[in-house]
Structure 1
Amino acid sequence: MSYENLTGRTAVVTGAASGIGEAVAVLLAERGARVALLARREQRLEEVAAKITAGGGSALAVVADVTDDASVAAAVARIHEAYGPVDLVVNNAGVMLGNPVEAGRLDEWQRMIDTNVTGVLRVIRAFTGDLVAAAGEGRTADLVDISSVGAHLAFPNYAVYGATKAAVTHLSQCLRTEFGPRDVRVTNVEPGFVESELRLHTDNAEVSGQVDGMLEAVGTLAAEELADVVAYAVSRPRHVNLRQIMAMPTRQA
């Protein structure tokens, strides 16, 4: 893909300790952006940040939990102190828990809603001022929400997860009506099967086995391939918004 250099931009990536988030953070840094890495696992964050700095990039590891208001507020303060305002936000933190609805796992439902929906909103609230100000100054400003093909395609035992991702997709669409007129781009990326830790979150062995079977039959994208999509979208000229991108293995229906 063809890129524009991201030098001079300041990015925040949530869920940056592994998988898609890690890959996005690494690639944005390679393209020249200063990147604040947000996640709960300090050691993993430090490892990712070290990998970026060893490659000549700029990275800031910030331990934060998107389900906690105070944690997000503290993260914002640290980022602003170190880097100043940001102009690129990648909402990637999420959790995927699979069980039939009849199992009644209210604990899992609440965790997915808190992380995948309310957590996304917390991060948007935290950085809206930065994005609007950057765009107002004539600079490129991007909000990228990582959703899922589960927002559109139905998978057994993942009804609540799919519902949370449908919420993210629709939220992104609605936000374009608020942010677009102020020149802030909103891009919704919907990955299909991607090799990540998400599928390891489920505590139901039967459901996990079903997912493993699908992945074996269809294959997966690498996290780096999803990062490539994100980096391409945010490197377009500021008047071009790649509003919604669904990326999946060719064999996935």
Structure 2
Amino acid sequence: MSYENQYGNQYAGLAGRTAVVTGAASGIGEAVAVLLAASGARVALLARRGDRLEAVVEKIRADGGEALAVVADVTDGASVDAAAARIRAAYGNVDLVVNNAGVMLANPVDDGRIDEWQRMIDTNVTGVLRVIRAFTGDLLGAAAEGHAADLVNVSSVGAHLTLPHFAVYSATKAALTHLSQSLRTEFGPRDVRVTNVEPGLTETELATHLDNAELTGRLDGMFAELGVLSAAEIADVVAYATSRPRHVNLRQIMVLPTRQA
């Protein structure tokens, strides 16, 4: 079913906008990029896997959308800055940023996996800050000119849950949720919306990052018992929030399968 047949003009507010989506090579990031482009936005897709990015961009262009593949690593400040420069050269300033890149690793804290902790902090927290730093001027400029300007951070329901062996992952997502809340006090008065999206059980590649067979089995059991959201369903939420009139901020959205308490 085509976008027009399924959604009509629901996302008309996205037409003509310029978006950046991180972690866009798969999962939620890919789905968000595809839907934003189908809604008329120019979309720059950022991720480390160039081959996957090119495949998604080809799909978008085949459907009549406008997209740019930009290989970048959010854990590397120079890489993010170079990506921002390339995007501006191609599309001009950005008015919609979706921070989706993330990693979920889990092991008992007493295993002392500092490598995993550092990777999650570098990606889920500092990586987000690098992207925000790169595009804050664009967002504030768009808002000052009277245009819609959006910063969307994809956090997790894990920001609020206490799960054995997911302590550090949950802590990074709690930091992201609180960062979003605090940023509203700085950006909101200048007409930049900050939306924090917290998905529950969702079909993405995150679970494949785990190297603990027991935890993988536990997640599989939760998926079977509680059900799972698709990446496209999370993309629908992002597109809806960012296509509202510019004075309307859907600030905090938790999206769960109905059976997930």
TM-score range, shorter chain: over 0.9
The residue type equivalent to 1:148 in the other structure is: S
The residue type equivalent to 2:129 in the other structure is: L
Q: Which runs of 4+ in 1 moved over 4 A?
A: none
1:169 pairs with 2:174? no
1:114 pairs with 2:128? no
CA displacement at 1:218 relative to structure 2: 0.7
SS at match of 1:74: helix
The 2-side partners of 1:90 and 1:231 are apart by 10
Which residue of structure 2 lines up, in the alignment, with residue 68 of structure 1? 76
Which residue of structure 1 lines up, in the alignment, with residue 65 of structure 2? 57
> In the alignment, which of 12, 15, 39 is matched to residue 31 of structure 1?
39
The 1-side partners of 2:200 and 2:12 are apart by 26
> In the alignment, which of 44, 47, 51 is matched to residue 43 of structure 1?
51
SS at match of 1:139: coil
1:4, 1:236 within 8 Å by CA — same for their partners in 2? no
The 1-side partners of 2:137 and 2:13 are apart by 24
1:231 pairs with 2:224? no
Alignment coverage as a number of residue pairs: 253
Which residue of structure 2 lines up, in the alignment, with residue 214 of structure 1? 222
2:13, 2:245 within 8 Å by CA — same for their partners in 1? no
The residue type equivalent to 2:61 in the other structure is: T
Which residue of structure 1 lines up, in the alignment, with residue 187 of structure 2? 179
> In the alignment, which of 128, 135, 157 is matched to residue 165 of structure 2?
157
1:193, 1:215 within 8 Å by CA — same for their partners in 2? yes
The 2-side partners of 1:155 and 1:225 are apart by 24
SS at match of 2:11: coil
User: What's the RMSD between the two structures over aligned residues?
Assistant: 0.7
SS at match of 2:85: helix
For residues 186-244 of structure 1, what are the alpha-carbon distances to aligned partners after superposition, in whole Å with 9 as ceiling and x for unaligned? 00000000000000001111111111111111110000000000000000000000000
SS at match of 1:93: coil
1:93 pairs with 2:93? no
Question: Could you list the runs of 5+ residues in structure 2 that have no partner in the other structure?
Answer: 1-6
TM-score, with structure 1 as normaliser = 0.99
Which residue of structure 1 lines up, in the alignment, with residue 3 of structure 2? none
1:251 pairs with 2:233? no
1:140 pairs with 2:171? no
CA displacement at 1:104 relative to structure 2: 0.8
TM-score, with structure 2 as normaliser = 0.96
CA displacement at 1:122 relative to structure 2: 0.2
Question: Could you list the runs of 5+ residues in structure 1 that have no partner in the other structure?
Answer: none
Determine what percentage of the aligned residue pairs are the same residue: 76
The 2-side partners of 1:5 and 1:188 are apart by 19
